[in-house]
């Protein structure tokens, strides 16, 4: 069985979460299967092992689950991107539009150095708004994005369109 099929076999659909009409892709069963979770991490490690990644920038909160061990495997820095007000030190921020309103994400001002080669990672690429804002935040700090990586891509939501001009990789597509 391919890795994509192994991961898909573990993803649980949760209807009407977080609101009616949404089918949530729950990654918890992937995390509970150490064999599949490890294979997923190894797949990312192999993809980026020779790309000289200086920092893995992970998006709150489920992106942290994947970003931290991948940064460790790549011997790279781990950089969390969090919702406004969650980081304890001086930050740089980026706002972006949501379906109804806007949101702001932040990163510590000293998290990246100019010219750092960055891998941006999250669990799911949906509409691409948060990932796009994260890329702008990285670039604002002088980072060079090698690729945006996701465990799951909900292709029907066309999130890649918001990441146009950037390399995008996902292990599983729906």
* pTM as predicted: 0.96
Catalytic residue among 62, 117, 136, 166: 62
Q: What is the CATH number of the domain that holds 47?
A: 3.40.50.2020
Domain that holds residue 79: 3-173
Active-site residue 114, yes or no?
no
Kindly report, residue by residue over 8-47, the tens digit of the pLDDT: 999 999 999 999 999 999 999 999 999 999 999 999 999 9
Active-site residue 153, yes or no?
no
The total of structural domains in the chain comes to: 1
Q: Mean pLDDT for the chain? A: 97
| Distance, CA of 131 to CA of 67 (rounded, Å) | 14
What is the structure's pLDDT at 99?
A: 74
Give the number of other CB atoms < 10 A from CB of residue 29.
14
Q: Sign of torsion, CA 95 62 156 173?
A: positive
Residue with tokens 């998290």: 111
Kindly report, residue by residue over 70-110, the tens digit of the pLDDT: 999 999 999 999 999 999 999 999 999 987 789 999 999 99
């Amino acid at each position: 069985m391919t890795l994509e099929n192994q991961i898909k076999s573990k993803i649980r659909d949760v209807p009407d979460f977080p609101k009616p009409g949404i089918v949530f892709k729950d990654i918890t069963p992937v995390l509970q299967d150490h064999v599949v979770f490890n294979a997923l991490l190894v797949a990312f490690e192999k993809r980026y092992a020779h790309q000289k990644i200086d920092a893995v920038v992970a998006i709150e909160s489920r992106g942290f689950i994947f970003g931290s061990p991948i940064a460790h495997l790549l011997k790279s820095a781990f950089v969390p991107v969090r919702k406004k007000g969650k980081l304890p030190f001086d930050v740089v921020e980026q706002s972006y539009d949501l379906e109804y309103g806007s949101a702001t994400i932040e990163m510590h001002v000293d998290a990246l150095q100019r010219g750092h080669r960055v891998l941006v990672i999250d669990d799911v690429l949906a509409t691409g708004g948060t990932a796009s804002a994260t890329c702008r935040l990285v670039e604002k700090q002088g980072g060079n994005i090698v690729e945006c990586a996701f465990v799951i891509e909900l292709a029907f939501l066309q999130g890649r369109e918001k990441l146009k001009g950037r390399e995008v990789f996902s292990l599983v597509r729906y």
